[in-house]
Amino acid sequence: MKIHVGGYGFQGLAALEHISDLASKGNIILNKLTGYYTVTAEALGEGEAISRLNEFVKSLFGTLKVMDGSTISSPVGLRDKLQKIRHCRIWSRQNYVFESDVRDFFLKGVSGSTDASSEVFDLEERSLKLVSGAAGEVAASCISILGLFPTFMGRYVATTFFSQIPVSFLSDGDIVLLNLRDPSFGKLNTASN
Amino acid sequence: MRERGTDLQCDACLFLNVFGAALPSGVYSRTIRKHSNRYRFSNTKIPFVCTSTAICSAELLVQNEGSIYEALRVSMAIPGLFKPEKKGDLTLADGGIPNNLPVSVAREANSTFVVAVDLSSSNRVTSFNTSNSILGVMDEYRADLILQREIAAADVLISPVMTRNIDMMGFSSFIDVMNESYEETLGCDLNGVTL
């Protein structure tokens, strides 16, 4: 039996409370921040994982907010608009905002092996895959979110913009932790939304 | 040349993040209304249905009654090009978003023989250099999964060679493409069925 957990940016963090219970029930398939937390907690302990997650969100908040834009309920001010324009410019010229050394900083000390896998999209083969085994690689692939960091190993991106919740390898009897976003809360003012 | 292409991409990205649509849907709506406003679905000799997408639920909706003009206006609301249309509590857009070849819709409409015409391009995004191009690769993969499922459900597939090599916006060659595709379609094997 497999357990599928993650997706929807900050909303995926709602799953954290259930991770340790779920991990004992089968092979866990993760992505994004939930995956990063789970693998880091396994390698370095829950306290360190929470601390790193806080640091991650705090340091990258501006970019993550633009990426998660459709759920921001507060009025969009000039500063937010300028932030969006800056990101449009970056994303039209390159596929990341932060260099890989920033990603590596958040992975420091994450080593050993893990039973968890991360769901990724392989750009070379145009297919979905699971990254498993080395904890550092699984954690790195989880946060290799398109537009945030460079592609992992030059070819993999997290399935953020494909399936959000990592259910591509779903089979009968699996558990899926649903954290579906209600799109009716999003704004539809722009074509991008 | 690359710089210019990149600038265009950037401009498009900015535009999509600031405005609701690139084209004024009113102009196109008036043209369609002029030619189709008096027709209703019940007027067609061959049963006609078209699809739209409920934006908030990503649900594929089938339009098969009432005004054809109203249905077409919603069905052509391609995100980015035209603004979505409000209909009651729903915000509706192009039905091609979740499914560009709705064979399953034809099946559910009790069709006895389904001829699917696949006009998707075989041109593929080949660069992973920008976030926008990677999004394109992932969207192609998603659309292909759905396309293959729909093609499998058709009795006959017509996939004109000419259309495989043009992009969605390749309007300059559309007369040639239509003529050649017509000739090619006439030569298709319809499994012995005469249309």
Q: Chain A: nearest CA to B56, how far in angstroms?
A: 5
How high is the pLDDT of residue B159?
A: 84
Q: What DSSP letter does each residue of chain B carry, written as one string?
A: -HHHHHHHHHHHHHHHHH-SBSS-HHHHHHHHHHHHTT-BGGG-SS---EEEEETTTTEEEEE-SSBHHHHHHHHT--TBTS--EEETTEEEEETTTT-SS-HHHHHHTT-SS-EEE-----------SSHHHHHHHHHHHHHHHHHHHHHHT-SEEE--HHHHTS-TT-GGGHHHHHHHHHHHHHT---TT---
pLDDT single digits (tens) B5-61 = 666 666 777 777 677 777 787 888 888 899 888 999 999 998 899 999 998 888 999
List CB contacts of B94: < 8 A, sequence separation 6 or more. Answer: B52, B53, B75, B76, B77, B78, B79
Give the mutation candidate from A70, A83, A93, A182 for the B interface (greatest B CB count, under 10 A): A93
User: Which of 138-167 (B) contact A at CB < 8 A?
Assistant: 138, 140-142
Burial class (CB in 10 A: 0-12, 13-18, 19+), B71: buried
Contact yes or no for B140 and A126 at CB 8 A:
yes
Tens of pLDDT, residues B136-164: 899 999 999 999 999 999 998 888 876 66
Q: What is the pLDDT of residues B82-110, one digit of tens each?
A: 888 988 889 899 999 899 999 999 999 88
From first to last of its 193 residues, what are the pLDDT tens digits of chain A? 899 988 877 777 777 778 778 877 889 999 999 899 999 999 999 999 999 999 999 999 888 888 876 544 455 677 777 888 888 888 888 999 999 999 999 999 999 999 999 999 999 999 999 999 999 999 999 999 999 999 999 999 999 888 889 999 999 999 998 877 776 666 677 777 7
| CB-based contact B99:B62 (threshold 8 Å) | no
Supply the pLDDT for residue B20.
74
Closest CA–CA distance from residue B146 to any residue of chain A (Å): 13
Would you state the pLDDT for residue A193? 72
Nearest by CB to residue A95, choosing from B12, B131, B142, is B131
Q: Does B9 touch chain A (CB under 8 A)?
A: yes
Q: Which two tokens stand for residue A95?
A: 């596929």
Report how far residue B118's alpha carbon sits from residue B159's, in angstroms, rounded to the nearest whole number: 5
B14/chain A closest Cα distance in angstroms: 6
Report the candidate in B71, B55, B76, B52 with the shortest Cα–Cα distance to residue A188.
B55
CB contact under 8 A, B55 and A183: yes
pLDDT for B168: 65
Per DSSP, the three-state class of A1 is coil
pLDDT digits (tens, 9 = 90+) for B48-84: 999 999 988 889 999 999 999 999 999 989 888 888 8
* A191: helix, strand or coil: coil
Q: In this predicted structure, what is the pLDDT of residue A150?
A: 95
Q: How far is A77 from chain B (nearest CA, A)?
A: 12
Contacts of A127 in chain B (CB under 8 A): 141
Of A158 and B128, the structure prediction assigns the larger pLDDT to: A158
Please tell me which residue of chain B has the smallest CA distance to A120: B138
Supply the mean pLDDT for chain B: 84
From the list B12, B138, B140, the residue facing A161 with the nearest CB is: B138
- Residue A176's H or E segment, with its range, is strand A175-176
